[in-house]
Every structure is written in structure tokens, then in C-alpha cells.
Amino acid sequence: MKTIVSGIQPTGSLNIGTYLGSIKNFVKLQQKYSDHHFYLFIADLHAMTTPIDAKKLRKKIKELAALYLACGLERDNLSLFIQSEIPAHSQMGYLLQCFTYMGELERMTQYKDKAQKQSEGIRSSLFTYPALMAGDILLYDAEYVPVGDDQKQHLELTRNIAERINQRYGEVFKVPKPLIPKIGARIMSLTDPMRKMSKSDENVKSRINLLDEENIIRKRIKSAVTDSDQTVRYDKQNKPGLSNLFDIRIAITDESVKEIEDAYADKGYKDFKEDLGEIVVNELLPIQKRYRELLDSGELDQILDEGKQRAEKIAAEKIDSLNRILGLGRKRKQKG
């Protein structure tokens, strides 16, 4: 069966950037690719690349698992699991480091950005993290990997590593393709539309968190930075703030730019922002309700156990086969 793989780190506050760029896309893809199996995971090993409090991490893992499901994922063709519960991810991460060059890792812009933000004690895992990510994907022979725009470079590296190994050892891995949504792949900060909306931004006004209260959601949109012109028109170059609000709206409603521009031909930013507040609130409140129901239910643990069981088996087989191909360990007789 063909597979689709993706993960999200359990760090910071999950916001509509992550939601529209990734989770909402998973939900749509689950319908479109109903004959594929989805391996979606909480990338807790990746969260260890920067300092994080242990208690906080535990809490975030559970919250993210509940949020994934609350956003509407179907259980039929899904294995939802926690990355660290499957040792094959760490094993694969190491093996792929053996096929990744320093020069490639040095070029990763996410590493450069994150390293720059830290003054001391940059963990070596922050540097090698793209190899771990490549392992997450290649373990399950992913056909597609749905991600936001910022992960494109890591996907390109994953493809290069897979091709490098295939060239040397034969067809070991499927070479995965990224799936980047047309709208929503890069939702920008509400306070600085030239920067990506990020869950680690210190300015809480820069984003709408999925669990924000209704009045906060409306307030954040109202105070979002826009230009001083009042014409509701999509223009990324000259009106980046307003265009970002268009993107948020379109990613939720699937309207066209023209439909929106026509609807506001005689209206200004105030109306546009108020309506967007309403649209975002209507999208998020049902998610919040389902999230609260799921968080302390036995159902969540059951789903994570089932996901783990299936993923564990596939991943362990892949590691065994890779060890054999690479000549690691002893020669064993094939079972059966």
C-alpha cells in the first residue's frame, strides 16, 4: 500500500500557520488519497534539538496528539504515533547521518536561523536533525510528504540521500515527493508580514493559537498589521499584511481572490477583518470542543497504541533489511 508520512514537533503553541500549512492539508489529503496509508507522528525526538523542560514536553506531546485528531483526521487509513516510542527512528537517523555530508547540513537555512537565535550550547542534534527527518520519511517508503513551504529544503535533502543510497546499493528506498499546499503553505506573522508565523515567536500577538479564546482570535485579526490604503485587494508585494489575511481566509473557505475582492468592493479593512474573525472563530471553536473531549479520554491512548503497533512493525522490518544491505551485524538465516 502506498504511504504518506508527516510529523509536527511538540514545541511552542500550535497556531493557524501550522494548522493551515499542514494539519488541515492532512485532512483534505486523507479524503483525496483514501487508498494510501497515513503515518502521522508527534516528532518528540526533534523537540530535543533545542532545550526543553521534560514535564512540559510530556504535556505538549499529549496535547498535540489530541489536537491532530480534533482537527478531523479519520482513523481508517491512519497510524498516529509518538516518534520516540519507535526505536527505529533513532536507528535510522544515525544510519542516514552516515550518508549525509557536512556541506549539505551547513546549507540548511532552518539550522542557520535557529543556531543564530541561540548564543551558546547549540546542540549537535540541531545540526544533524535533517538526517533524522529523512529517516522518519524513508522508514515508511513514503510516496508523499505533506509539509509547509519551510520544509522544502529538508525534503530535497531527503530525496538526495535516498538517491545516493539507491545508486550504491540498489532500490533500497522510495524517493518521496513533497506535497505543499497552494494556499496556506506560508502563513505570515500578524505583526510582521515579512516573517513566517511561528510557534516559537516571543510576540504572542504575531499569531492565532488553535486554542485561543474567541475574543482573543477576533482581537488578533483586528490588530493585524496592514497598510494604510483601504482597498481590499490581493497584492503580495504592496499589501503583504492584507494578502496574508486573504490567504488565511482562502485556506479555510476555498473562495477565489476575485470573489473576495468583489464582495468588498464597497467596503474597507474593518469589515474584511471582522468577517475574517468570524470565519476563523467558526473554524476553530469546534476543534477546541473536540480537543477538550479527547484530551483525557481513553480513546486517545488507544489510538496512539494502535498507531505505534503498526508503525513499529513496518519500521523494524525496514531497519533489519537496511542493516543486511549495509553489511552490519552477522549473517542470519532467513526465517520461514
Which listed option, ligand LTN, ligand ATP, none, makes contact with residue 21 (CB within 5 to 8 Å by class)?
Answer: ligand ATP
Q: Determine if 151 is a binding residue for ligand ATP (CB under 6 A).
A: yes
Which residue, 150 or 192, is less far from ligand ATP as judged by CB?
A: 150
Which residue, 225 or 314, is less far from ligand LTN as judged by CB?
A: 314
The residue nearest ligand ATP at its CB is 21
Scored b (16 or more CB within 10 A) or e, 37-71 reads: bbbbbbbbbbbbbbebeeeeeeebbbbbbbbbbbb
Site string for ligand ATP, 187-206 (x = CB under 6 A): x--------xxxxx------
Beta strands 142-146 and 3-8, pairing class: parallel
CA nearest neighbour of 135 among 85, 88, 92, 178: 92
Q: Determine if 12 is a binding residue for ligand ATP (CB under 6 A).
A: yes
Q: Are 15 and 207 in contact (CB under 8 A)?
A: yes
Which residue type occupies 142?
A
Angle at 12 between CA 10 and CA 14, to 5 degrees: 80
Q: Which stretch binds ligand ATP (CB under 6 A): 142-150, 226-234, 314-322, 327-335?
A: 142-150
Q: Determine if 67 is a binding residue for ligand LTN (CB under 6 A).
A: no
Q: Are 232 and 261 in contact (CB under 8 A)?
A: yes
Site string for ligand LTN, 23-62 (x = CB under 6 A): --------------------x--x----------------
Q: Are 72 and 289 in contact (CB under 8 A)?
A: no
Catalytic site residue from 152, 174, 199, 308 = 199
Q: What minimum distance in Å lies between the beta carbon of 85 and ligand LTN? A: 15
Binder among 13, 22, 30, 84 for ligand ATP (CB under 6 A): 22
Q: Determine if 11 is a binding residue for ligand LTN (CB under 6 A).
A: no
If 0-12 CB within 10 Å is exposed, 13-18 middle and 19+ buried, where does residue 334 land?
exposed
Active site residue 196: yes
Cα separations (Å) of 35 from 26, 61, 78, 101, 167? 14, 28, 11, 36, 29
Active site residue 114: yes
Which listed option, ligand ATP, ligand LTN, none, makes contact with residue 17 (CB within 5 to 8 Å by class)?
Answer: ligand ATP
Site string for ligand LTN, 124-163 (x = CB under 6 A): ---------x--xx-------x-x---x------------
Which listed option, ligand LTN, ligand ATP, none, makes contact with residue 72 (CB within 5 to 8 Å by class)?
Answer: none
- Cell matching residue 85: 516510542
Which residue, 46 or 239, is less far from ligand LTN as judged by CB?
A: 46
Binder among 3, 4, 5, 9 for ligand ATP (CB under 6 A): 9
Which listed option, ligand LTN, ligand ATP, none, makes contact with residue 133 (CB within 5 to 8 Å by class)?
Answer: ligand LTN
Distance between CA 209 and CA 221 in Å, rounded? 12
Q: What minimum distance in Å lies between the beta carbon of 13 and ligand LTN? A: 14
Active site residue 267: no
The site for ligand ATP (CB under 6 A) is made up of: 8-9, 11-12, 17-18, 21-22, 147-148, 150-151, 184-187, 196-200
Catalytic residue ranges: 114, 196, 199
